[in-house]
Every structure is written in structure tokens, then in C-alpha cells.
């Protein structure tokens, strides 16, 4: 039996821990209502106004002008996600994290240890709330698809358990869009064919769905019949890149301002790089103009986690890309091609150790006072 644990309005829940005055209010995480961002998360109070994730912030503001709009605290979201994972590890050796706020856990055969799985789910739910102050919904089923649909079934703070063999009975009355993978486009195609509920799919043959929708039609037939993946993925997913980007509220013309923003973004990605114990060798900058034409420029160098070295390369790439007399909408930096150790570093180990100590001090200062307190001023200037 697989549990799908889904933290309810996770970003908003964390924001309410940081500021209890947000309790009971319409909260939207994603940015300023006058900006160009989108809704990353919203409280259930905000959802009552029609706001949903992925919606432009300006649209959300028109629907709920009295809501509270926040930029969010990404580091805190990651920290609380790790705390939830640590709590779950007490009960199960294998956990598959689907996203920052979703976890799959396999408790098959654990009834002799934990007793009723429904009552055990209640215990986990209470523990997450009592220790971390986070509401969580739990779905229980014989495969990942059923468990995920169950966790959405009675949000927030719900628990839904579908007994083995009851999958079709549970699914039949539900709308087709509850099936994972059915987005707005496919939903419209299904509705145009008179398919609104999962029971409508079950009236059709698998061959018809295959002809109509190709391979996904066959997959849709399997899902409508309650079949899905019954084992968790235990493979470690190695992080392939670290990136930061900023979308400006107004198009930017000043090259000096762009370079200062790039300096701060570089500091942030290099801090993350050092925190994870990585070195990177490929540096990529991203530049998007007001007409949405986007340039990406990359260069591969020796492995490093030093932001002075990274910024010197990134600055040259930015200057090479920023040749048009058009306002800039977005700038970003991406580091990739990681390693945990580089033999070249051994050649200058004493100098490197001094530099690492200095960079750790810089990280601590920025943690306390923000990234703007220390900045790289330009290529070739050893300001850090």
C-alpha cells in the first residue's frame, strides 16, 4: 500500500508559520500585484475568489485586490520540506519525493507493525501538524496514481483510503481531469468526444482510445481501470544544474544595472553550489528582451565554486549577448556540469583553503545581512 502525502497550500503554510497574522487571510505567494509574475501558491481563502496556481499575479489581484501578496521565502520552503522528509524516514526506509511538497511512501506489509493504515495515516498527519505546524493530506492506494488522486480527494487535512479491488468503483464517478497527466488541452479533446467522467472512458474500448489518442490513449485506459505504478523509485536523481533568474517589473535599459543584478544572482548560485559541496564548469547566462527574443550564452571553464571566477565569465557572456538597443525583460545565470572534486585544486591547496575560508565568511555575512552587502563589481576586480 502506497501513501501519497501532499502538504496543503505548502508555501502559504510556511509563510503563516513565519507570520501568524496571515492565518485566515487570503494569501498569494508569487510577487507584487503590479509585477509580471505568476501565482506560485495561494491560501484556500484566496482560492474562494477564483485564484489558482499559475495564474498571472495581475489577474489574481483583479479577482482579490484585498489579498496579501508575498514574494515568498524559498530557503524556508526547502528547509521545511527536508524536516517533513526526516520525520517520514522514522517510519519508512524508502521515500520517493515527487516535489518539494509531495512524498510517496510504501507501507505495503506494514499492518503488523503499525496496525490499521488509516489510523496510522492519522498519526502521521497529527505528528506533522503538532511538530511542524504544517497541514497535510494523505491518500492511500495500491499504486501511486490511486494514492495521488486520493490525497486530492478531501483537501485540506483529509485522508482517503481506497481498498485493493475497489479502484474502479472509486474512480467511475470522478471527472476525467483528476487523472494525472490530463491537462486543459486533453480535457477539452475528451469533452468534445462526450467524455466527461471516468465512467465514460470505461464504456469505450482500449483500441478506440489508442486510435483516438495514440499511446496516451492506451495509458488513459489503464489509469481509468485503476492500474498504475506499484513500486517507488529509489534511484537518486542527481541535480544537473543550479540557476537563478530575475524578471523585471519594467524593461531595463541600463547595462550597469543589469551587471549589478547579474552579480547578485551569481552570488546566490555560487552560495548554493558551495552549500551542496559542488564545483561547476559550465556557466550559462540567459537574456530575454522586451520582445521575448531570448539569448543563451555558455562557456566551459575549469571546475570552480568561486563567484569571482564565475562572475568574470558570466559578465563577458552578458556583454556579448547584450548588443541590441532593446529593453531587457529577464536576466539569469545557470551553472552545470558538476563534480564533487577536482584534481586541479590539489595543485594550489594552501591558497584554495584560504579562499574557501574567506568565502565561508562571505556566506555567513550574506546570510545575516543579505546578498547586497558584498558584491562583485566587475571582471578583473578582486572585490571579494
Which residues does the annotation mark as catalytic?
102
Backbone torsions φ then ψ of 341, nearest 5 degrees:
-155, 140
Backbone torsions φ then ψ of 245, nearest 5 degrees:
-150, 160
C-alpha 328/C-alpha 298 separation (Å) is 19
Question: For residues 202 and 224, is the Cβ–Cβ distance under 8 A?
Answer: yes
Do β-strands 136-141 and 159-161 pair in parallel, antiparallel, or remain unpaired? parallel
Question: For residues 311 and 374, is the Cβ–Cβ distance under 8 A?
Answer: no
71 contacts: CB under 8 Å, gap ≥ 6: 29, 30, 31, 32
Q: Which residue reads 479502484 in cell numbers?
A: 167
For residue 56, what is the DSSP state? B
Grid cell in block for residue 7: 502538504
Q: Which residue reads 489509469 in cell numbers?
A: 223
Q: Which residue reads 534511484 in cell numbers?
A: 235
Grid cell in block for residue 375: 558584491
| 338 DSSP β-pair partners | 280
Encode burial over 57-72: b for 16+ CB neighbours within 10 A, e otherwise: beebbebbeebbbbeb
Longest dimension (CA), the chain: 72
> If you write DSSP's letter for every residue of 141-162 in order, what string do you get?
ESSHHHHHHHHHHT-SS-EEEP
C-alpha 74/C-alpha 11 separation (Å) is 9
C-alpha 364/C-alpha 275 separation (Å) is 11
Question: For residues 160 and 150, is the Cβ–Cβ distance under 8 A?
Answer: yes
Amino acid at each position: 500500500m502506497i501513501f501519497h502525502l501532499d502538504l496543503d497550500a505548502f508555501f502559504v503554510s510556511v509563510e503563516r508559520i513565519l507570520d501568524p497574522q496571515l492565518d485566515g487571510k487570503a494569501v498569494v505567494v508569487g510577487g507584487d500585484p503590479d509585477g509580471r509574475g505568476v501565482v506560485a501558491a495561494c491560501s484556500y481563502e484566496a482560492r474562494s475568489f477564483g485564484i489558482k496556481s499559475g495564474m498571472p499575479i495581475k489577474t489574481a489581484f483583479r479577482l482579490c485586490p484585498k489579498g496579501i501578496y508575498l514574494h515568498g521565502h524559498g530557503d524556508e520552503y526547502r528547509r521545511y520540506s527536508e524536516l517533513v522528509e526526516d520525520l517520514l524516514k522514522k517510519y519508512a526506509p524508502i521515500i520517493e519525493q515527487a516535489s518539494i511538497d509531495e512524498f510517496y511512501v510504501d507501507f505495503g506489509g506494514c499492518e503488523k507493525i503499525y496496525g490499521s493504515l488509516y489510523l496510522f495515516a492519522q498519526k502521521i498527519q497529527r505528528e506533522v501538524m503538532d511538530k511542524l505546524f504544517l497541514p497535510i493530506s494523505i491518500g492511500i492506494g495500491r499504486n501511486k496514481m490511486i494514492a495521488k488522486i486520493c490525497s486530492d480527494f478531501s483537501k485540506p487535512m483529509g485522508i482517503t483510503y481506497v481498498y485493493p479491488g475497489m479502484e474502479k468503483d472509486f474512480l467511475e464517478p470522478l471527472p476525467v481531469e483528476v487523472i494525472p497527466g490530463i491537462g486543459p488541452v486533453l480535457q477539452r479533446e475528451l469533452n468534445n468526444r462526450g467524455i466527461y467522467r471516468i465512467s465514460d472512458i470505461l464504456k469505450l474500448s482500449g483500441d478506440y482510445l489508442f486510435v483516438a489518442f495514440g499511446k496516451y490513449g492506451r495509458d488513459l485506459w489503464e489509469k481509468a481501470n485503476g492500474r498504475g505504478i506499484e513500486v517507488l523509485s529509489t534511484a537518486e536523481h542527481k541535480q544537473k544544474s543550479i540557476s537563478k533568474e530575475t524578471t523585471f517589473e519594467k524593461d531595463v535599459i541600463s547595462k550597469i544595472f543589469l551587471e549589478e543584478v547579474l552579480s547578485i544572482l551569481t552570488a546566490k548560485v555560487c552560495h548554493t553550489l558551495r552549500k551542496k559541496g559542488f564545483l561547476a564548469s559550465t556557466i550559462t547566462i540567459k537574456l530575454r528582451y522586451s520582445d521575448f527574443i531570448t539569448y543563451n550564452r555558455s562557456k566551459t571553464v575549469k571546475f570552480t565554486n568561486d563567484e569571482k571566477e564565475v562572475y568574470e565569465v558570466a559578465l563577458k557572456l552578458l556583454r556579448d549577448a547584450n548588443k541590441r538597443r532593446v529593453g531587457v525583460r529577464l536576466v539569469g545565470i545557470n551553472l552545470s556540469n558538476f563534480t564533487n572534486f577536482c584534481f586541479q585544486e590539489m595543485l594550489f591547496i594552501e591558497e584554495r583553503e584560504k579562499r574557501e575560508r574567506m568565502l565561508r565568511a562571505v556566506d555567513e555575512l550574506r546570510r545575516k545581512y543579505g546578498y547586497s552587502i558584498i558584491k562583485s563589481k566587475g571582471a578583473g576586480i578582486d572585490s571579494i
